[in-house]
């Protein structure tokens, strides 16, 4: 499934049987947003999200997921393309595919958090939060390093 032109040899799919847990965990556990996330938690999040994989000749090279009630709200998370496959329009094709997915049409609100990809998401209508004073969060950036969550092991040293 894809709604944007992909380079030859690439495909985007929501088929969960194609997801490569090692690739996804390898990237996400090294990311700024989920450093040291245990593999068991990555596996759990995959089971509870609508996942999109990007593949080059059956090898996973990208990923994104949405968390949604499929009626009013979706949160776009964990978007990545492996470094060797960047610069080919894959991120744009991935986000276009997600936004066109039939299960998330007509939603009232989409959210995401990004450090440096605002330009990508602006192409799809995302804007800075209009009323940040209304938004609240609990944020535990060292959750996996300290081992506060089940399945997380504390870092020694």
Res 4: pLDDT: 61
Beta bridge partners of 76: 66
Flag whether pLDDT at 130 surpasses 70. Answer: yes
**Residue pLDDT, tens place only, 7-34:** 999 999 999 999 999 999 999 999 999 9
Res 137: pLDDT: 92
Given the structure tokens 């799919």, which residue do they identify?
13
| Cα→Cα distances 58→5, 12, 71, Å | 18, 10, 32
Res 19: pLDDT: 98
Instruction: Give 147's pLDDT tier (boundaries 50, 70, 90).
Output: low
Flag whether pLDDT at 148 surpasses 90. Answer: no
Q: Hey, where are the domains in the chain?
A: 10-146
Fold for 10-146, please state it.
Aminopeptidase (3.40.630)
Look up the pTM and report it.
Answer: 0.87
Q: Tell whether the torsion through CA atoms of 37, 144, 45 and 110 is positive or negative.
A: negative
Q: Given strand 50-56, what is the order of strands in its sheet?
A: 10-13, 50-56, 59-68, 73-81, 109-111
């Amino acid at each position: 499934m894809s709604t944007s032109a992909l380079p030859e040899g690439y495909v985007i799919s929501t088929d969960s049987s194609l997801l490569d847990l090692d690739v996804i965990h390898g990237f996400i556990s090294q990311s700024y947003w989920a450093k040291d996330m245990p593999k068991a938690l990555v596996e759990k999040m995959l089971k509870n999200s609508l996942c999109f994989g990007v593949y080059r000749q059956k090898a996973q090279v990208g990923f994104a997921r949405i968390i949604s009630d499929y009626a009013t709200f979706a949160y776009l998370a964990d978007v990545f393309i492996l470094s060797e496959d960047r610069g080919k329009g894959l991120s744009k094709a991935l986000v276009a595919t997600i936004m066109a997915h039939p299960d998330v049409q007509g939603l009232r609100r989409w959210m995401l958090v990004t450090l440096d990809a605002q330009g990508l998401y602006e192409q799809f209508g995302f804007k800075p939060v209009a009323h940040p004073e209304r938004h609240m969060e609990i944020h535990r950036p060292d959750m996996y390093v300290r081992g506060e969550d089940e399945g997380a092991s504390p870092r020694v040293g």
